[in-house]
């Protein structure tokens, strides 16, 4: 096998200008044979290793010997002849070795991969405990994929679930490959990368690691490494050559069409990578020009290639900066030899659509035409009430943000062993003729990084970022925020003209960033940021309200009630202040909320018959299994105390002009209510007698729902508040309830949090809720009544899944 790899290596290496220059310079030195032998040994080693990439990462571009020699060819084109002749043996040697080993981290041991995939025995796992723990932390950040994996496994689609698992493993290999390369070099080549008596293993590992890091890391490298008397090498120069050659190499040599047609390329990112490489036919490289030639079958492929060219342009600029900053006292004048000229940008003129053979015309017209957003018009849309319905959502957004900040700090404090009590204060007050709304918390707070990347970036949530999931992995915890929807701080401008924010972020136990003060005068204005005198971590937001705002006609009691309605079940106490009076909104207040506030006129019993034939039972909806908390009232029809599906209250036949007419009055079940049915007779405009049927709904179903303590302002039964909403309950009996869905469960909402989305989450909730309600009814009724009522429910139901639930009780 070694002979095969040696043959592959030498057939490609013998014509490479870098190797030829090295071989020429080694011919006159005593250490020359050792240097060449080392290059051969590392080259064969790398070819053997890279053959495993396609096995472990079948959906990504090849990192094999073709990539290696493409890179060496590119480097040969980038280096001017004068510089090539100037380069020392260590320069040339490290250039070759860095190309050989830079992607060696893409080739982890098979047992490492099995450890990540949980495919080792318990005894075998003991050798990889640290590896497994590190991978688990990484995997935790892929929350969406983990949820999909669980869903697919539950549905029995194990192959698709495994595909997602493989994708996460592949991403782990790719993202961590530079660090792994450094470790492999340290393990397999320690004290072996030698020039004369100088060990260059650490420098080689540093260069290989740097190719996947930010370019600014090259500025911190040792510029000149002295290797022998008057022999030196330039480490940043070698690192620049590695970075540029790696990114420039993308063409069909790395994605052979045969391989592409036989591989099962299923991941969309991978597919884009393969297609991009397939379209590129060749390139032309000099120190002044970099030309790509590509024939594309689809504008999306061309767009992908052009985007990749943008990345190359950026790398060219960065590397030019690195080279221009090279400086050394050891070789003052000679340092100029390393400051090689680089192309300014990629010449894209040869990137185009494939031409039709018959017409000779391109098969499509490429334009960078796509949807764009008008900032001002989109903001006007968001600011209006068409999307958000009510302007008081601004207060809800602020309270949600504060709750999340406090709950996150609570998680962090538990990990740090720090005592912490969450505090939120909502205050409405007037000052100098203006009304103000203030929300203050002692949560995790913000720093400049959070402000720039998330707070001011509409639609970009910190709680959905890789940064957040890495934090959760670090503290070995999980946290599901409630403020996953909305437009954040922008919503405040629905009710105010200016915002002042004072904030300070906690970064560790008794460790804080600088306190900041932010002032924003309108959503189109710049943020004015200065130092704040805030001492404790947390955030205080003050809105100077417009003259007309949602709370301008409220007294202090109405304001307090308004805030409580937004947060019926807070996770901890919230202080509400108005006109120098304060009240507490506490978690225990939820149980004290009166269901009678939800009852309308349909629940009033006007007649003796209705009072005797409709019975009410009260139940709790508490379920630790489904994270439900609440209570409900159920109305059901009885006759002589026994549940029945219908009661005839009046039935009478009357004769009119010799013809018999039946008059009746009864009550029966309808969807989400009890119907009062009646049959009457009347004379129409032609003098004819007609019999008419009519009904009115009594005991109509009503709901009040909150998710994770925050009110959702829509009904779960069809009415004017949820017109067009598909996610509604259809119960075979009337129920009025107040329910909070806790942290262990969820419903997906639209952006303004006004309607529930109809999806699998909703369908699961519907079954869970129906099961809890019926189980609680069973507990309240005597066994005989339950048997009768169960039959009635079953006969009324149309949904087979709900029928299965009632059958199981």
Model pLDDT for residues 8-46, shown as the tens digit of each residue: 888 888 889 999 999 999 988 888 899 999 999 999 999
- Backbone phi, psi, residue 574, to 5°: -120, 130
Which residues touch 521 (CB under 8 Å, ≥6 apart)? 497, 498, 528
Burial (CB < 10 A; 0-12, 13-18, 19+), residue 535, is: exposed
CB atoms closer than 10 angstroms to residue 495: 22
pLDDT the model gives residue 368? 75
- Measured CA to CA, the distance from residue 80 to residue 160 in angstroms comes to 51
The pLDDT of residue 258: 37
Specify the pairing of strand 581-585 against strand 574-578.
Answer: antiparallel
Q: What is the 3-state secondary structure (H, E, C) of 34-95?
A: HHHHHHHHHHHHHHHHHCCHHHHCCCCCCCCHHHHHHHHHHHHHHCCHHHHHHCCHHHHHHH
CB 421 within 8 A of CB 523: no
Q: Please answer whether residues 442 and 536 qualify as being in contact, where contact means their C-beta atoms are separated by less than 8 angstroms.
A: yes
Pairing of strands 224-228, 198-199: unpaired
In the prediction, which pLDDT does 166 show? 83
pLDDT-derived band at 257 (thresholds 50, 70, 90) equals very low
Element (H, E) at 248: helix 235-248
What local confidence, expressed as pLDDT, does residue 592 receive?
Answer: 77
Confidence class for position 1, pLDDT limits 50, 70, 90: very low
Annotate 775-798 with b (16+ C-beta within 10 A) or e (fewer). ebbbeebeeebbebbbebbeebbe
Q: Which range (406-420, 659-673, 765-779) has the least confidence?
A: 659-673
Mean pLDDT to the nearest integer, 353-375: 84
pLDDT of residue 571: 92
CB 45 within 8 A of CB 107: no
Tell me how far apart the alpha carbons of residues 408 and 743 are, in angstroms, rounded to a whole number: 14
pLDDT band at 288 (very low <50, low <70, confident <90, very high): confident
Decide if pLDDT at 47 tops 60: yes
Please, what is the Cα angle at 75 between 70 and 79, to 5 degrees? 155
Each residue's pLDDT tens digit, 729-770? 989 999 999 999 988 888 888 766 778 888 888 999 999 999
What is the SS3 assignment for 739-760? EEECCCCCCCECCCCCCECCCH
Tokens 């009885």, located at residue: 638
Is residue 47 within 8 Å of 68, Cβ to Cβ?
Answer: yes
What integer best gives the mean pLDDT of the chain?
Answer: 85
Q: How many CB atoms lie within 10 A of CB 349?
A: 9
**Predicted model pTM:** 0.71
pLDDT digits (tens, 9 = 90+) for 524-557: 777 899 999 999 999 999 999 988 888 888 888 8
Which range (198-202, 355-359, 372-376) has the least confidence? 372-376
pLDDT for the residue numbered 383: 58
Torsion 213-217-219-223 (CA) sign: negative
Average pLDDT over residues 401-413: 93
Residues in the chain: 809
Highest mean pLDDT: which of 133-142, 179-188, 474-483?
A: 179-188
What is the rounded average pLDDT of the residues 57-71? 68
Q: Report the 3 state secondary structure along 150-202.
A: HHHHHCCCHHHHHHHHHHHHHHHHHHHHHHHHHHHHHHHCCCCCEECCEECHH
For the segment 164-219, what is each residue's pLDDT rounded down to a tens digit? 888 888 888 888 889 999 999 999 999 999 998 899 999 999 999 999 899 999 99
Give the pLDDT confidence of 671-719 residue by residue, as tens digits.
888 888 887 777 777 767 777 777 788 888 999 999 998 888 888 988 7
Gap between the Cα atoms of 151 and 164, Å rounded: 12
């Amino acid at each position: 096998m070694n002979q095969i790899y040696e043959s592959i290596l030498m057939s490609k290496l013998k014509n490479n200008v870098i190797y030829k220059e090295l071989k020429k310079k080694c011919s006159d030195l005593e250490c020359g044979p050792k240097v060449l032998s080392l290059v051969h040994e590392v080259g064969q080693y790398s070819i053997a290793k890279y053959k495993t990439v396609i096995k472990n990462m079948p959906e990504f571009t090849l990192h094999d010997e073709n990539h290696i020699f493409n890179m060496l060819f590119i480097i040969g084109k980038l280096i001017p002849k004068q510089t090539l002749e100037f380069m020392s043996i260590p320069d040339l040697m490290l250039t070759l070795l860095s190309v050989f080993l830079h992607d060696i981290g893409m080739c982890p041991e098979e047992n490492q991969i099995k450890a990540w995939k949980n495919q080792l025995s318990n005894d075998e796992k003991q050798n990889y405990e640290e590896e497994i723990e590190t991978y688990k932390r990484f995997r935790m950040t892929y929350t969406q994929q983990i949820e999909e994996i669980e869903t697919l496994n539950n549905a029995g689609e194990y192959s698709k679930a495994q595909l997602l698992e493989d994708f996460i493993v592949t991403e782990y290999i790719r993202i961590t490959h530079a660090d792994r390369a450094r470790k492999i070099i340290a393990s397999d080549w320690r004290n072996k990368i030698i020039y004369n008596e100088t060990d260059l293993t650490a420098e080689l590992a540093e260069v290989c690691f740097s190719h996947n890091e930010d370019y600014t890391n090259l500025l911190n490298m040792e510029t000149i490494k002295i290797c022998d008397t008057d022999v030196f090498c330039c480490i940043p120069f070698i690192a620049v050559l590695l970075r540029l050659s790696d990114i420039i190499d993308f063409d069909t040599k790395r994605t052979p069409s045969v391989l592409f047609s036989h591989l099962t390329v299923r991941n969309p990112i991978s597919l884009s990578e393969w297609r991009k490489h397939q379209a590129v036919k060749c390139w032309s490289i000099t120190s002044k020009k970099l030309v790509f030639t590509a024939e594309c079958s689809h504008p999306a492929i061309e767009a992908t290639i052009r985007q990749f060219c943008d990345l190359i342009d950026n790398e060219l600029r960065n590397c030019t900066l690195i080279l221009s900053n090279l400086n050394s006292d050891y070789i003052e004048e000679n340092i100029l030899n390393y400051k090689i000229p680089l192309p300014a940008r990629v010449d894209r003129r040869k990137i185009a659509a494939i031409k039709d053979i018959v017409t000779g015309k391109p098969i499509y017209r490429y334009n960078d035409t796509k949807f764009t957003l008008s900032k001002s018009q989109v903001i006007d849309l968001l600011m209006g009430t068409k999307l958000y319905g009510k302007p008081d959502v601004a207060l809800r957004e602020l309270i949600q943000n504060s709750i999340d900040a406090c709950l996150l700090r609570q998680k962090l404090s538990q990990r740090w062993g720090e005592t912490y009590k969450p505090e939120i204060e909502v205050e409405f007050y007037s000052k100098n003729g203006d009304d103000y709304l203030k929300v203050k918390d002692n949560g995790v707070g913000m720093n400049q990084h959070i402000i720039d990347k998330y707070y001011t970036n509409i639609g970009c949530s910190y709680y959905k970022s890789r940064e957040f999931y890495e934090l959760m992995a670090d503290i070995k915890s999980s946290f599901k925020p409630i403020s996953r929807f909305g437009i954040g701080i922008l919503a405040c401008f629905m009710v105010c003209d200016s915002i002042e924010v004072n904030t300070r972020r906690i970064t560790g136990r008794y460790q804080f960033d600088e306190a900041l003060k932010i002032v924003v005068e309108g959503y189109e204005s710049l943020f004015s940021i200065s130092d704040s005198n805030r001492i404790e971590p947390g955030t205080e937001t003050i809105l100077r309200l417009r003259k007309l705002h949602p709370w301008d006609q409220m007294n202090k009691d109405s304001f307090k009630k308004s805030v409580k309605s937004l947060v019926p079940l807070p996770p901890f106490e919230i202080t509400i202040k108005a006109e120098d009076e304060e009240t507490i909104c506490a978690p225990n207040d939820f149980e004290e909320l009166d269901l009678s506030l939800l009852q309308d006129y349909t629940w009033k019993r006007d007649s003796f018959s209705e009072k005797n034939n409709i019975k009410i039972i009260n139940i709790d909806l508490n379920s630790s299994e489904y994270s439900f908390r609440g209570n409900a009232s159920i109305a059901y029809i009885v006759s002589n105390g026994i549940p029945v599906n219908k009661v005839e209250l009046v039935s009478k036949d009357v004769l009119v002009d010799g013809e018999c007419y039946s008059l009746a009055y009864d009550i029966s079940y309808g969807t989400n209510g009890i119907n009062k049915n009646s049959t009457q007779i009347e004379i129409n405009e032609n003098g004819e007698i007609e019999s008419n049927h009519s009904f009115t709904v009594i005991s109509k179903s009503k709901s009040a729902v909150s998710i994770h303590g925050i009110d959702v302002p829509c009904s779960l039964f069809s009415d004017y508040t949820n017109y067009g909403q598909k996610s509604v309950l259809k119960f075979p009996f009337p129920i009025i309830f107040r329910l909070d869905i806790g942290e262990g469960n969820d419903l997906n909402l639209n952006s303004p949090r006004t309607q529930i989305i109809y999806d699998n989450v909703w369908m699961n909730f519907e079954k869970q809720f129906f099961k809890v309600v019926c189980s609680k009814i069973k507990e309240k009724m005597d066994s005989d009544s339950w048997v009768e009522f169960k039959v009635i429910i079953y006969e009324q139901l149309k949904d087979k899944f709900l029928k299965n639930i009632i059958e199981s009780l």
